[in-house]
Structure 1
Amino acid sequence: MKTKRILSILALSLLITTGYAQRGKVRQANKEFDNLAYVKTSEILLKVAENGYKTVDLLQKLADSFYFNNQMEEASKWYGELMAMNDNVDPEYYFRYAQALKAVENYAESDKWMKKFHEADRSDLRGRAFASTVDYLSMIDEASRDFEVKNMDINTELSDFGTTQYQDQLVFASARGGGKKYKWNEQPFLDLFSATKQEDGSYSGADAYNDKVNTKFHESSAAFTPDDQVMYFTRNNYYNKKYKKSEDGTNRLKLFRATLEDDEWANIESVHFNSDEYSVAHPTINLTGTKMYFASDMEGTLGKSDIFEVDINSDGTLGDPVNLGASVNTEGHETFPFINSEGDLYFSSNGFSGLGGLDVFVIREFEKRRESNQQLILENVGRPINSPMDDFAYYENIGTKEGFFTSNRDGGKGDDDIYSFIIPDCEQIVEGIVKDQETETPIVGAKVTLLDAEGTALNSQIVGADGAYKFEELECEKEYLIRIEAEDYETVEERFTTPKKPQELVINPTLEKDVKGITEGTDLAETLGIPIIYFDFDKYDIRYDAEVELQKVLAVMNQYPDMVVDIRSHTDCRARAAYNERLSENRAQSTRDYLISKGIAAERLTAKGYGESQLVNDCGCEPTNDSDCTEEQHQLNRRSEFIIVKM
């Protein structure tokens, strides 16, 4: 179900300079194009084009007719002919061509035209979204999950879409009601229907709502307040038996509010921000009943339609709508929002990179993140919810694990069909082996604790001789920590986030000894984890960062008053050998002087610079002062040693 109102603003002229018969066909096509009878128009334009009469203008209209009627294989063919004839067209045609190519799963060619679209207008959010996620297909594959979606028994050969639950009913829109036909698709106007949930979890029946809700024009997309007493729904601009149009002659969509009285919906009224000049549609209400989200092209909209929010006040009145901004909306269509019980915002869009047509996207913890001004992270929900066709009107009940969405994908019963699925369990297993960092042997008796993101302990284990631990039944897409403690070792924590798919995560933590044996010949630099003692280039003054490291040596020598240490300074091979020897000698002596200044007796310290004479690898440069070694390899030679020569 496309947002079909956009069709009314398309250009309507055809400039054909052919014979009388062809001109007659074009005039007839123009007339039907004016009346939004696109299926017939495409047939006429197709005959003209197949007879060899093609212009840029005709190909645009022909391709558009197929595109807006969701016949993407034909649309991609004729957009291709348009580009071959003249690719210097409005960039919007690059976007439509790319979308049509996606629908036939020609993603490589689609990406080519999306790139051209982005290059034509680098400010367009759709192109920027594509450019920022050029690997979007692999990201969608990663998000995709393996579960079954079912075409529901309540579907017909006509359009059925847009579900929400009300008590034991599934409320949806359908064209099955008969009556006056909508000229756009030659189907009856939409009404709201409800199917009743059975003991086995299925839904059956399709009862129309009363005629106070349903009229001879469109009704769709209902939402209910948490107390089940108020319903908001979408309807054509038809109220109190008055059918109104905008200044350009379009009958727009509006939101209406109804209250429950004696088990009947009554007191139907238009919400205060409706207008004859723009559409407002597809409401959804959060768990607390304090916010409503909806789609609209009202003033301030970034694209064809955007997602807005509005406060629901304690007295039931509505505040002023607020556009959710560029983190949610693009120059394309963002529509059919749904907010679940955890505050995750789902909506459909063709403005972000997807599989084709409208795709379902989600921003998890949307309400929490928006309230605390955190970054909003957009995710394509992947297959099997999304397909190369239009996928929209996502709805889920986390409590009952029921999910629904609408799609016009291949294999359906009719136009738009409602699909159901069971929200799959997503449990994670985290396991691993706790090892000594140096010896890589298991640490017997280590304690491994699982904590949530806030640091609350959830479970703990003491590992056996194999050092193995295992935690089961973790949730997907949740942040956790594991804390590992062992006697004589430093305690460590590792934070991780479980992925979207059920799987086993392996985390093998390694612990560093907190109590380390030292004896004559021990290098305190290795024992204490002292990196390079840095000096400024060509200097040997003690820098602050070097002083921090030397404080570790100072602390050990104060702990063991009889300890004697030999300070050894080394350089890499770059520069002349004699120069390196002098520089390292000065640095060794500068290090000794620093420790003496901090109270270490001079007789407890010896110092010598070795220059490049004791390299730890093959990175020698003499006599050419040149080397093929990397900077990291040279760095291994620029070291300081603190060798214990006496305890």
Structure 2
Amino acid sequence: MKKYIVLYLTFVVFPLKLYSQQAKVNTGDKNYNNYAYSNAIKSYENVADKGYKSEGMFKRLGNSYYFNSDFENAAKWYGELFAMNVAVEPEYYYRYAQSLKSAGEIEKSNKYFAEFNAKNLSDNRTILYNKDQNYREEIKKNSGRYTVENAAINSPYSDYGSFVYNHKVYFASARDTGNFTKRKHKWTGKYFTNIYNADIDSVTNLPSKVNKIKTTLNSRFNESSPVFTKDGKTVYFTRNNFVKGKKGKDSTRTTLIKIYKATLENDKWTNIAALPFTSDNYSTAHPALSPDEKILYFASDMPGTVGQSDIYKVDINNGSFGAPINLGKSSNTEGKETFPYVTQDEIYFASDGHPGLGGLDVFVGQIEDNGTISNIQNVGADINSPKDDFAYVIDPVSRRGYFSSNKDGGQGSDDIYVFLENKKLKCTQELEGIITDVITGHVLPETKVTLHENGVEKSTMISDAAGFYTFSIECGKTYLVKAEKQNYKIKELSVNIGKLNGKTSLPITLDHSRCKFAVGDDLGKCFGIKMIYFDLNKWSIETKAEVDLEKILAALNHNPNLKLDIRSYTDSRGSSKYNESLSDKRAKATIEWLVNKGISQERLTGKGYGESQLVNGCSDGVKCSEEEHSLNRRSEFIIIAI
């Protein structure tokens, strides 16, 4: 009989145990869906530690830590997920790889990054990674430019998000939010933040005593990231959705965050209101003003966002706001982009989607005249770490600034650091290649290679014994490379340089069948020169003309006995007397240019012939096309001695 009692109790206990575990998982799910990640973690870990396994629970448990930037614990639970050998969404490969990277497991991280990339060829993060697989070398190259130290205003609690105004640094802190009844945020399990400031010492340039802002800017909930206009009469800041003393909620009864604006009247902040493009149904946060205060940049997950959060901008027109514009995939990824800061021509932001060291890294991009962002680079390991690094601000003149991080060695979960940028980040590339014979493939040492930008010679070098040449150049530009070697035809190549640090390879092959010329030949035909370009009714040598004249100059330098008669012609339009005078001035200007480049005057003669020697029937009164007229506007370089 006892045997049956034991069996009965066994069947009763197991279902009760399973029911208890499932109840805790359900509680965790409810907290998770309400963004109460800190509470969800407690529920999930309670059952996970007792051996309960569930694909959904491991996903949400990993996410709860990931969204709170606790990457070591995120890696632990994502590892449990992948140990189940179940098919999961590609995003979990990315989050696991990011978490492993932040935890220092680089080799394992690379494995999961590779699997993520293979599953997501169209993902912007994959595209960026494939473009720059040596990103760690680029980060290393960009490092060593800063002096960084702890800002000395940090507490054991979260301190982050700096802005400098009127010799004070403003920031968010959770150090004192409610005395005996401190309020915690369910997402993080940490205390709510308010806005504080600290005076900046004029001698040390470091912030000193911390003051809590005792104004209506601070509420019972979260405030952060204030930015003031230059006149100090307007402030934009981030706050929990807060309406008439109560938290506003979306359709799932979740409180998100909004950007608010306040104005200063009689030394009091008033007219506090959310900006018109904010919503109860998505978040807007971390405002940043352009130097002319005509554009507000911010982060949001509003509809149309590429990833978890994107950088947007909105025009400010006399106090009214235009429609938000997403900065696009040049900046935003399927990951998280946040905490923008802009100077006259640069934008800084934090991202976990661009290739970095782990967590959020700080990046900088160039703001083009049309408002697009280009040449995005990681600012380097002085600022960035395997943890979250964000909220970077810099004075464009002194190059001093602040950033926030939860990197190891700080006092609290997030700390503020002060820095001095000793050397500006400049995007450079190495343009390199090997010069060979087009027929034999043999390398061609001692070849003269000249680099031109917009018709202006920038640099010249001679290829080494292996036929190798290299130039240090700027990113994002177009250059003309010219290679010259005796008994070879001159070759010119245009090359577009990428917008990231690195190398561009440009091999050059030269044709041994150089022009054979004799007395009476037109040397210009050897180089395909039909005419030397001049501005309308002018005869000064312009940049476009110099490109072709460089070829004539090279031939004269290679052949010291060569003498030329330079002849200039026009079409029939205009009076014959005017055309003759204009063409003669152009011929003389061409001779003068060559003489100024070192060619002896004795080797050059020249004259303008106007419209006297037309090559077709396009004379006065004859209707001809522009192409037919152009045949008569020609330049000749007749060889008179070799």
**1:182 is paired with a residue of what secondary structure?**
coil
**1:390 shift after superposition:** 0.6
CA contact (8 A) 1:310 1:318 kept: yes
**1:134 shift after superposition:** 1.6
**Cα distance change, pair 427–207 in 1 and its aligned pair in 2 (3 A):** closer
CA RMSD in angstroms, aligned pairs only: 4.5
**1:242 shift after superposition:** 3.8
Deviations 1:243-272 (A, max 9, x none): 211112221211111122233322222211
**1:424 shift after superposition:** 1.3
**Structure 1 partner of 2:405:** 407
**Structure 2 partner of 1:58:** 57
**Cα distance change, pair 398–44 in 1 and its aligned pair in 2 (3 A):** same
**Structure 1 partner of 2:513:** 532
**Structure 1 partner of 2:244:** 240
**Cα distance change, pair 544–334 in 1 and its aligned pair in 2 (3 A):** farther
Q: Which moved more, 1:52-61 or 1:138-147?
A: 52-61
**1:37 shift after superposition:** 4.5
Q: Which TM-score applies when normalising by structure 1?
A: 0.64
**Structure 2 partner of 1:350:** 352
**Structure 1 partner of 2:389:** 391
**Structure 2 partner of 1:323:** 326
**Structure 2 partner of 1:580:** none
Deviations 1:96-143 (A, max 9, x none): 101101101222322221222222232222222222222111111111
Deviations 1:374-397 (A, max 9, x none): x71111111111110111111111
**Structure 2 partner of 1:171:** 170
- Give the alignment of 1:40-79 within 5 angstroms: 41-79=40-78
**Structure 2 partner of 1:223:** 227
CA contact (8 A) 1:164 1:222 kept: yes
Which of 190, 194, 197 is the aligned partner of 2:197? 194
In structure 2, C-alpha distance between the alignment counterparts of 1:157 and 1:239, rounded to whole Å: 31
Q: Which TM-score applies when normalising by structure 2?
A: 0.64
- Give the alignment of 1:454-533 within 5 angstroms: 531-533=512-514
Deviations 1:55-78 (A, max 9, x none): 322322332333233332232133
CA contact (8 A) 2:142 2:425 kept: no
Amino acid at match of 1:114: F
In structure 1, C-alpha distance between the alignment counterparts of 2:58 and 2:80, rounded to whole Å: 7
**Cα distance change, pair 439–38 in 1 and its aligned pair in 2 (3 A):** closer
CA contact (8 A) 1:534 1:546 kept: no
Q: Which moved more, 1:180-189 or 1:280-289?
A: 180-189
Q: How many percent identity over aligned positions?
A: 38
**1:212 shift after superposition:** 1.4
**Structure 2 partner of 1:24:** 20
Deviations 1:387-433 (A, max 9, x none): 101111111112333211111111111111111111214599xxxxx
**Structure 2 partner of 1:579:** none
**1:182 shift after superposition:** 1.8
**1:184 shift after superposition:** 2.9
**Structure 1 partner of 2:379:** 381
**Cα distance change, pair 74–182 in 1 and its aligned pair in 2 (3 A):** closer
| Structure 1 residue ranges without an equivalent (≥5) | 1-16, 429-437, 441-450, 458-475, 482-494, 502-528, 536-541, 562-643
Deviations 1:320-371 (A, max 9, x none): 211111111111111100002x32001111111111111111102x143x34
**2:146 is paired with a residue of what secondary structure?**
coil
CA contact (8 A) 2:75 2:99 kept: yes
- Give the alignment of 1:5-16 within 5 angstroms: none
**Structure 1 partner of 2:188:** 185
Amino acid at match of 2:189: E
- Give the alignment of 1:9-158 within 5 angstroms: 19-35=15-31, 36-39=35-38, 41-158=40-157
CA contact (8 A) 1:394 1:404 kept: yes
Amino acid at match of 2:422: P
Amino acid at match of 1:182: H
In structure 2, C-alpha distance between the alignment counterparts of 1:321 and 1:454, rounded to whole Å: 41
CA contact (8 A) 1:284 1:338 kept: yes
Deviations 1:545-598 (A, max 9, x none): 97438997999888389xxxxxxxxxxxxxxxxxxxxxxxxxxxxxxxxxxxxx
Deviations 1:29-53 (A, max 9, x none): 4324523453454355335334333
**Cα distance change, pair 118–196 in 1 and its aligned pair in 2 (3 A):** same
**Cα distance change, pair 244–456 in 1 and its aligned pair in 2 (3 A):** farther
Amino acid at match of 2:513: I
In structure 1, C-alpha distance between the alignment counterparts of 2:97 and 2:564, rounded to whole Å: 74
Aligned length, in residue pairs = 469
In structure 2, C-alpha distance between the alignment counterparts of 1:456 and 1:283, rounded to whole Å: 44
In structure 2, C-alpha distance between the alignment counterparts of 1:351 and 1:454, rounded to whole Å: 39
**2:422 is paired with a residue of what secondary structure?**
coil
In structure 1, C-alpha distance between the alignment counterparts of 2:308 and 2:100, rounded to whole Å: 21
Amino acid at match of 2:138: M
**Structure 1 partner of 2:277:** 273
Which of 333, 338, 361 is the aligned partner of 1:335? 338
- Give the alignment of 1:491-640 within 5 angstroms: 531-533=512-514, 547-548=526-527, 559=563
Amino acid at match of 2:74: A
**Structure 1 partner of 2:301:** 297
